Each structure stands twice: as structure tokens, then as C-alpha cells.
A and B are shown apart, each in its own frame.
Chain A
């Protein structure tokens, strides 16, 4: 089955700097890659997603890149703000379901 790895597990950046979180997946059949943000005490919320026929997607300060050949995808957050502090999960759409990475705790320091 599918396996998703995510690095780093924790990340601290200064406000205004960029943050990058990387994920790898194992099954080339996966073709949908969402990113979720989870704030303390809440359920995960989709922030951006990308399909396997697209290499990059941007939404304001957030971007995701996908390298199908290498089976990895990354989340890029620019001009980080304190409200970006949260746990971020990547996932791979596999068959009828999703497989999630273990998460990255991002802290944006003022």
C-alpha cells in the first residue's frame, strides 16, 4: 500500500521568513496530493491541493510543487505570519482513500 513520509517533524522560522515542508510517497498510482493545516483543538482543514498532471500550484503566500518522477511534493509558505503556526499534514490520494504523513509542527516566531 501507500506510504507517506514527511519532513521535518518540527520547524521554527522567524516571522517574514519562508517555510518549506517536504513529503515523499511510495505508490506511483497516487494522483491527488492535498495539504491540511490543523490548529490546536480543531480538525484539519484543506489549505491547498495538487493533482498529478500539474507541477506547481500557488494560492497567495502558499504554493505546492510536485515531482512525479521522484515521488515527492512540497509545501512552501512565504512571508510567514504568527497565524501560520500550526501542524501541517500532507496526504496522498490512494485508490478510494487518503494516506497521511505524520505531520510537521510549524512555529512562527515574532
Chain B
């Protein structure tokens, strides 16, 4: 049972490039989410999904796309990277939503946009 896995661990992009951050979980969780973590600002929700085929925006969705074609995978796409997207990105999953249930976090992806 690997839990939540994320790839890559580190990435450097140039402004305007696109890329996909991968996230997978093997716990059969319906709820998955993406956060970005910036110094002094905690974790801010980018997008979330309550099940395969269902996604919705969080607090800071601009510049990011997601899809959920399977229960296991929840990739995050940066369409045209900007320096403001330099951050650490965490994927998380849980059996339930924010109404009560432990969220399991992946190890994170540190992204630098030059």
C-alpha cells in the first residue's frame, strides 16, 4: 500500500512552458485534492474531486487544470507556467470530504518557474 504518490519531486520550468504533475492513490478514496504551499500562507486549495469524472475549483484555480478519469489518478496541469506558480504542490486523498475524514498527503512536488 503506497498511499499517495506524486511525481516528479522537483521540477524547473521556464515561463510559458506547460507540464503535468502526477498524483495517484491506491486506497480507493473518492475525494482527492491539490494544494499549493507558500511560506506563511499555509495550504491553499487549487482543485478538488469528489469522484471519477467530477472536479471543481478551489480557492486558487487560475492557471491550473485537472481531470479525474479514474478513481486512482488526479493529475494537475499547468497550462502556461508563470513565476507566481513557484511553490510546493501537495496532492491529498481521503475517504470522505471536508465533512470529516483524514486526508492523506503525498510527499510534494517542488516547482520553480524561471
Taking beta carbons and an 8 Å cutoff, which residues of A are in contact with B? Answer: 1, 4, 6, 9, 31-32, 34, 36, 41-46, 49, 51, 89, 93-103
Distance in angstroms from A55 CB to nearest chain B CB is 17
Pair A44/B43 contact, Cβ less than 8 Å = yes
Q: How many pairs of A and B residues are in contact by the CB < 8 Å rule?
A: 70
CA distance A94 to B41 in the complex (A): 18
Interface residues in B, total, Cβ within 8 A: 28
Interface string of B76-114 (1 = CB under 8 A from A): 000000000000001010000111111101111000000
Q: Which residues of A contact B53 (CB under 8 A)?
A: none
Residues of A within 8 A of B97 (CB): 93, 95-97
Which residues of B have CB within 8 Å of A45?
A: 105
Knowing A31-B100, A51-B100, say if A43 contacts B108 (CB, 8 Å).
yes
Given A43-B107, A51-B100, A97 and B43 contact (CB-CB distance below 8 Å): no
Contacts of B56 in A (CB 8 A): 96
For the complex, give the distance between the alpha carbons of A49 and B59 in Å.
23
A2's nearest neighbour on chain B, judged by CB, is B98
From B33, B42, B99, give the contact of A102 (CB < 8 A). B42
Knowing A31-B100, A93-B99, A96-B48 touch, does A44 contact B90 (C-beta < 8 A)? yes
| Option from B42, B98, B106 in Cβ contact (under 8 Å) with A101 | B42
4 nearest A-B pairs in the assembled complex, by CB-CB distance: A43-B105, A93-B98, A100-B42, A96-B97
Residues of B within 8 A of A41 (CB): 107-108
